[in-house]
Amino acid sequence: MNILDGKKTAQFYKDTIAAEVAALRAKGSRKPHLVAILIGSNGASETYVASKVKACEQIGFESTLIRFETDVTEETLLAEVHRLNETADVDGILVQLPLPDHIREDTVTLAIDAEKDVDGFHPESLGRMLLGLPGYVPATPKGIMMLLDYYNVDTAGKHAVVIGRSSIVGSPMSVLLSRNSKPGNCTVTLTHSRTVDLRYHTLQADIIVAALGKPLFLTADMVKDGAVVIDVGITRMKDESLSKGYRICGDVDFDAVAPKCSWITPVPGGVGAMTIAALMQNTLEAFKRRIKV
Ligand code: NAD
């Protein structure tokens, strides 16, 4: 069993981006600028946004965090997004999910200028991904592809089973794995909450991507020997023995599944770290397009 070390790999990609930024800065360029909008004070969202801001600092990006109270109106939020769309030195805009119930996610996603859509959630970004055109790929599936690439995991002709069909993880993941590219060229089965006999499917998988948000869901009896297992899940589980009161749990029963795998991602230190690196990559691309490098 080998570990797909997201933390180490993310550092590699971040170092590469930092070197590119330093070279651009030496030629007199401004810094790439990412703006994150955070609504309310959800603990997990706070942590994600803090990691993104920290990564920006590490690699020489400028970052701005804009906060709104939970009762912010959709109108106010959209006005802020439109202002950022028009602000020349803003390269990337992200609105941290989930949003309060009274704000429509689709409306906010559509409001972000597709040129600044570094999360890759805008229909234009998703359409470009489907067509194999240059554009922003959602950060989590993009980060997984970067991880598979870094470790040169052989995916061509393999059967990949993706668990979960969300528009930000499972669905784009299925598209990327099936693309005629390296990594890619998998035969993909996309499974979801209405899939009958999921275990039947996972047992045939050479590659499993678990992205459903149910802690320890994928058990050893669902995985064939030699499989590659990618754990996307992040759930906070109560744990009084830790000072923060919780521990992060993936969708895979790591201790039981890992011995059967050829490759597996840990949680934490797997996909989460790669998501941040992929977001930074998207922001650098947005910046380079805007300054026309
Ligand atoms: P989501 O709730 O939008 O989607 C979950 C999907 O799982 C749905 O498509 C549903 O059909 C499917 N599902 C639910 N129960 C199932 C079952 N029993 N069998 C098969 N499929 C089932 O979730 P999401 O936004 O895609 O996130 C999934 C998980 O990944 C969450 O834990 C989330 O926190 C985590 N996540 C992690 C990162 C990261 O950077 N590591 C990024 C995004 C999401």
Q: How do residues 259-277 score in pLDDT, each as one tens digit?
A: 999 999 999 999 999 999 9
Q: For residue 52, what pLDDT is reported?
A: 97
Given CATH 3.40.50.720, say whether it is the number of domain 139-272: yes
- Domain coordinates of the chain in residue numbers? 28-115, 139-272
Residues 163 and 217: their CA atoms lie apart, in Å, by 10
In percent, the amount of the chain with pLDDT more than 90 equals: 97
Q: How far is CA 76 from CA 128, 143, 272, 292, in A?
A: 29, 32, 30, 32
Three-class secondary structure assignment of the chain: CEECCHHHHHHHHHHHHHHHHHHHHHCCCCCCEEEEEEECCCHHHHHHHHHHHHHHHHHCCEEEEEEECCCCCHHHHHHHHHHHHHCCCCCEEEECCCCCCCCCHHHHHHHCCHHHCCCCCCHHHHHHHHHCCCCCCCHHHHHHHHHHHHCCCCCCCCEEEEECCCCCCHHHHHHHHHCCCCCCCCEEEEECCCCCCHHHHHCCCCEEEECCCCCCCECHHHCCCCCEEEECCCEEEECCCCCCCEEEECCECHHHHHHHCCEECCCCCCHHHHHHHHHHHHHHHHHHHHHCC
pLDDT tens readout for residues 18-38:
999 999 999 999 999 999 999
pLDDT classification of 169: cutoffs 50, 70, 90: very high
pLDDT tens readout for residues 49-74:
999 999 999 999 999 999 999 999 99
Alpha carbon nearest to ligand 1 atom 8, residue: 164
Instruction: Give the global pTM.
Output: 0.97
Q: What is the mean pLDDT of the chain?
A: 97
Q: Looking at the predicted structure, is the pLDDT value of residue 293 above 80?
A: no
- Distance, CA 164 to ligand 1 centroid (Å)? 5
Q: What is the mean pLDDT of residues 240-244?
A: 93
- Topology given in CATH for the domain delimited by 28-115: Rossmann fold (3.40.50)
Q: For residue 136, what pLDDT is reported?
A: 98
- Distance, CA 267 to ligand 1 centroid (Å)? 15
Q: How far apart are the first and last CA of the chain?
A: 42
Place of tokens 């600092």: 57
Any atom of ligand 1 within 6 Å of the Cβ of 270: no
- Point out the residues that are catalytic: 52, 96, 119
pLDDT classification of 240: cutoffs 50, 70, 90: very high
Which residues fall within 8 angstroms of residue 52, CB to CB, at 6 or more apart?
A: 34, 36, 63, 94, 276, 279
Q: For residue 24, what pLDDT is reported?
A: 96
pLDDT classification of 184: cutoffs 50, 70, 90: very high
pLDDT classification of 292: cutoffs 50, 70, 90: confident
Q: For residue 197, what pLDDT is reported?
A: 98
Mutate to test the pocket of ligand 1, among 193, 249, 265 (most ligand atoms within 8 A of CB): 193
Q: What is the mean pLDDT of residues 159-181?
A: 98
